[in-house]
A and B are shown apart, each in its own frame.
Chain A
C-alpha cells in the first residue's frame, strides 16, 4: 500500500512539474500548425538524393505529430512525390521532436538536453535516409497504399485546410486553439497519463542508483533500452518524464537519449504498416538507421558531457509535497481539467480503441482496413502496380519547362506505347535532349506529369537505357571497353555485390551484337568515333531494359554503319520500346514506326506519317499555330 502511495506521489510531482511546459508546448504546436501550409511541405519534400533527406528531416523537427499520426501523413506525402529516403527521414524526426516535447525536455532535463534532442533526432534521420539511398532494395511497385490504422492528428492534411483561402486572424487563432487543445491533446493525453504513471513507477520502485548495477553508462544500458524502446508505443512528450526518471536513477544521459529517440520514433504497429507500404528494404534501413543513430548519439552525448565537464541532472522532484510554486499548481490544475474534459468527450475511449487495434495488428500481422481519417483511400490504388505491358512506356501530359527564363518545352503531350519505335526530329536547340533528360529524371519539369514505365522518372531510373549524344567522359580514362560495357549492369540493389559471370557474358554478347566484340580489351580512348558510339549502345543494351532512349546515335557514324544501326534498332523494337531523337529526318523515316516533330512544341501523328505541314511547323515557325497536335486524352491533372 505504501509503495502505491509512493508511485502516486511521484507521478503527481512529475505531472505538476511538467504541466506548464506541456501547456506551452501545446500552444506552440497549435500556432505552428496554422502557420505551415501543406504546399510548403510538398515543395520541401520533393526531389531525390541527400538534399531532400536533409530538408525532410529538418522539416520534421518542429512538426508536432506523434508516431502513429506520422505514418498516414508520410504515406500521403509519398503519394505526392516525396522520395522514399525523404519519407524515411521525415518519419523519424517528426515523432521524435516537436515544440511540446522540446519544451518539456527543457523543463525536466535542462537546456542542454533540450538542444541535444532535436539535433540527435536530425542526425538519426539523416543516417537512416542515407541508408535508404544506399540500399533501396528492389524497385517497388510504385505508389503506396494508404494504410488502415491512420489514427491520430494530421497537421497538414487536416480537413480545416478546406476553409477559405485567406482566414482572418481570429479564425486562425481559433484553429490553432482547436488543434492544440482538441486534436493534439486527444492524441497525447492518454499516453501522457501513462508516461507520468510509468515515471512514478520507476521513481518509486527502481533501486536508487542503477549505476551500481553497471547500468550507469556505456553500451550495455543503451542496448537494453533500445530493445525495450523500439516496439514500445510512447509519444515524444510522454517519453520525456520517463527519461528524466531514468536519469534520476543514475542511468547516463546518453542512455536516456536513446530512449527519447527510439521510443517515440517506432512502435510495433507502425513498423507493420510501413513494411506493407514501403517494403522490407525500407524497414531494414529504418530500424538500422534509428538504432545506429540513437546509440551513436547517446555515446557521443556521454563523451561530450565528460569532455566539457557538463552534467545533465533530472529536475524531477521526489514528492509532490516539495515546494513547486503556484505556477506549477495552477497550470497542473488547468491541464488536468483539460485532460478530464477531453476524456469525457471520448478521447480516452478512442485511445483505448487504438491501443487494442494496434495490439490486434501486431498480433495478426495484418492492418485492418477502416476508413482513414486523412483522405478516402483510392480504391484503385492497391491494384495499380500494373501488369507489365498495360501501361504505356512513356506518358507525358502537359509538360512545360524553361531554363533561365527561356522556354524550352511548351505543353508537351506524348504517349508512347510499349514495343514501338518512335523517332523525334527537330532543329538543334528545339528541346530534344532536354525532353530525353526529363524522361530520364535528370532534369525536372516546371509543370506537367511524366510517367515512365508506369512510374515517376526518378523511380524509373535503372530501368531505362540511354545513349547520350556527347559523352562527358575523358577518353584518356584508364578503362577498357569491356569495363565500360559492364556499367550497364550497375544499378540500384547491386551495391556491394560484385559482377558475376552472367554479367560479363551479357556484356560480351552486347558487344558482339554491335560488331565490336574484338575491341573488348582496348582502352576506351583508342577507339574511333564510330566504334565508341557502338560501345555506348552496347552498354545501353547490356542494361536489358524495356525502354531505350538514344540521342542522335548516328551523328558520328558513316551512312552505311548508320543504316545498319537503324536496322538493329528496328529489330530491337519488337521486344522493347525504342525512342531516338535526330536533327533531321534523313533515312530515319524508313525504319521508325512513328515520327514526332519537336521544336518547343510537339507535333505527333499516331499514324507515324510526317506531313508537310508538320515539318513546316517544326522548322519554319517556332511558335506557330498547332494544327496537328494530338494531345493525349484529357485526364485529371494530378498536380496543382
Chain B
C-alpha cells in the first residue's frame, strides 16, 4: 500500500488528485444544483482553445487555458441573462469553436506538441511539480470565494428571481460562479482531461446530493467521494500495471469508478428510501 508512495511522481499524482477532488466537490455542487453541466462542458472544451494558444505563443498552456476558460465563462454569463432560450445553441457553439481553435492553434505552432493527448484525456501520473502549486493556489481561491459569498451563491443557485428581488447583484454573482467553474475546470484538466472534466464535476456531487440535506454537507461529501475515486483510480492503475502488466490510463479509471459509485448510490437509495420523511 505504501510502496508506490516512494515515487515522487506518485506523490505528485496523489496530491493532484486530492486537490482536484476539493475543486470538484465544491464547484461541482453548484454545477449540479444550478444545472450548469452543459455550461461547464462548454467552458472545459473552450479551455482547450487556450491550451492551443499557449503552445502557439510559447507560454504555459495552463495559463492559456485559464484565460480562455475565464473569458468564455464571462461571455456565457453575460449571454445567459439575455437569451435564456438560445443558451443551448450558444453553448454548443462555444464548445465546438473552443476545440476547433485548440486544434488549429496547435497545428500552427512550431514543432510537434507531443503531450496534446494529456490535455484531452488527462495525465495525472505526469503532472509537473509546478502544477501542484498552481492547483493549490486555484483551490485556495475557490474555497475563499465560496466561504465569503456562500449565502449569496446559495440564494442565486436556489431562486434567482427572489435573489434579484432582495436586491442582490445577481448578474455579477452568476459571473463569479461561472468564473469558479472555469477555475475548477483548469484544475481538473491535468487530472482527467478536457473531455472527462464534466464527468468529475457532476458525478461525485450527484451522488452526494442523494445523501445531503444542506449545501455544505453536499460539498463536503462530494469532495470526499471525489478523493476516494481519485485515490482508488491511482492505486488501481498502479497495481494493474504492476501485477497484471495492464497499462490502464488513470483518468478514465477514476471516471468509471465514480460512475460505479453513482449506480450503487441510486440502488442504495431505492432500498433505504427517502430520508427525512
Please tell me the number of chain B residues within 8 Å of chain A, measured between CB atoms.
37
Q: A51-B171, A490-B168, A491-B167 are in contact. List 18 more A-B contacts (CB 8 A).
A: A49-B169, A49-B171, A50-B171, A51-B81, A133-B172, A134-B169, A441-B164, A471-B162, A472-B160, A473-B158, A474-B33, A478-B213, A478-B215, A487-B154, A487-B155, A490-B151, A490-B152, A543-B166
Please provide the chain A residues from 488 to 519 with a CB less than 8 Å away from any CB of chain B in the complex.
Answer: 488, 490-492, 495-496, 498-499
Among B81, B159, B169, B218, the residue within 8 A (CB) of A487 is: B159
Which residues of A lie under 8 Å from residue B163 when comparing CB positions? 487, 490
Which residues of B lie under 8 Å from residue A441 when comparing CB positions? 164-165
B 165-180 binary contact with A (CB < 8 Å = 1; else 0): 1111111100100000
Instruction: Please report the C-alpha to C-alpha distance between residue A486 and residue B154 in the assembled complex, in whole angstroms.
Output: 11
Instruction: Please report the C-alpha to C-alpha distance between residue A484 and residue B161 in the assembled complex, in whole angstroms.
Output: 13
Q: Let me know if A442 is at the binding interface, CB within 8 A.
A: yes
Which residues of B lie under 8 Å from residue A480 when comparing CB positions? 213-214
Which residues of B lie under 8 Å from residue A136 when comparing CB positions? 169
Q: Let me know if B277 is at the binding interface, CB within 8 A.
A: yes
- Are the CB atoms of B160 and A483 closer together than 8 Å? no
Instruction: Please report the C-alpha to C-alpha distance between residue A498 and residue B150 in the assembled complex, in whole angstroms.
Output: 9
Which residues of B lie under 8 Å from residue A477 when comparing CB positions? 33, 157-158
Taking residues whose C-beta sits less than 8 angstroms from the other chain, chain A's interface range is 35 or more
Q: Let me know if B276 is at the binding interface, CB within 8 A.
A: yes
Which residues of B lie under 8 Å from residue A478 when comparing CB positions? 33, 209, 212-215, 217-218
Q: Given contacts A473-B159, A478-B215, A490-B155, are A526 and B168 in contact (CB under 8 A)?
A: no
Which residues of B lie under 8 Å from residue A133 when comparing CB positions? 169, 171-172
- Are the CB atoms of B161 and A490 closer together than 8 Å? no
Instruction: Please report the C-alpha to C-alpha distance between residue A478 and residue B34 in the assembled complex, in whole angstroms.
Output: 11
- Are the CB atoms of B166 and A495 closer together than 8 Å? no
B 31-48 binary contact with A (CB < 8 Å = 1; else 0): 001010000000000000
Q: Given contacts A472-B160, A479-B214, A479-B215, are A491 and B166 in contact (CB under 8 A)?
A: yes
Among B148, B151, B157, B164, the residue within 8 A (CB) of A499 is: B151
- Are the CB atoms of A440 and B165 closer together than 8 Å? yes
Which residues of A lie under 8 Å from residue B212 when comparing CB positions? 478
B 215-230 binary contact with A (CB < 8 Å = 1; else 0): 1011000000000000
Q: Let me know if B129 is at the binding interface, CB within 8 A.
A: no
What's the nearest-Cβ distance from chain A to residue B255, in Å?
23
Among residues of A, the one whose C-beta sits closest to the C-beta of B171 is A49
Please list the 6 inter-chain residue pairs (A to B) with the smallest Cβ-Cβ separation, ordered nearest first: A462-B167, A461-B167, A492-B167, A49-B171, A133-B169, A478-B212
Main secondary structure of the interface of A (DSSP, over half): loop
Among B33, B161, B165, the residue within 8 A (CB) of A472 is: B161
Total CB contacts across the A-B interface at under 8 A: 104
B contact residues vs A (CB 8 Å cutoff): 33, 35, 78, 81, 148-149, 151-152, 154-155, 157-172, 175, 209, 212-215, 217-218, 274, 276-277
Q: Let me know if A563 is at the binding interface, CB within 8 A.
A: no
Instruction: Please report the C-alpha to C-alpha distance between residue A387 and residue B259 in the assembled complex, in whole angstroms.
Output: 62
Query: Could you list 21 examples of A-B contacts with CB < 8 Å?
Result: A49-B169, A49-B172, A51-B78, A442-B164, A461-B165, A463-B167, A471-B159, A473-B158, A473-B159, A474-B33, A477-B157, A478-B212, A479-B158, A480-B213, A486-B151, A487-B151, A490-B168, A495-B152, A496-B148, A522-B276, A523-B276
Among A50, A492, A523, the residue within 8 A (CB) of B175 is: A50
Instruction: Please report the C-alpha to C-alpha distance between residue A462 and residue B169 in the assembled complex, in whole angstroms.
Output: 11
- Are the CB atoms of B155 and A495 closer together than 8 Å? no
Instruction: Please report the C-alpha to C-alpha distance between residue A386 and residue B213 in the assembled complex, in whole angstroms.
Output: 45
Please provide the chain A residues from 450 to 486 with a CB less than 8 Å away from any CB of chain B in the complex.
Answer: 461-466, 468, 471-474, 476-480, 483-484, 486
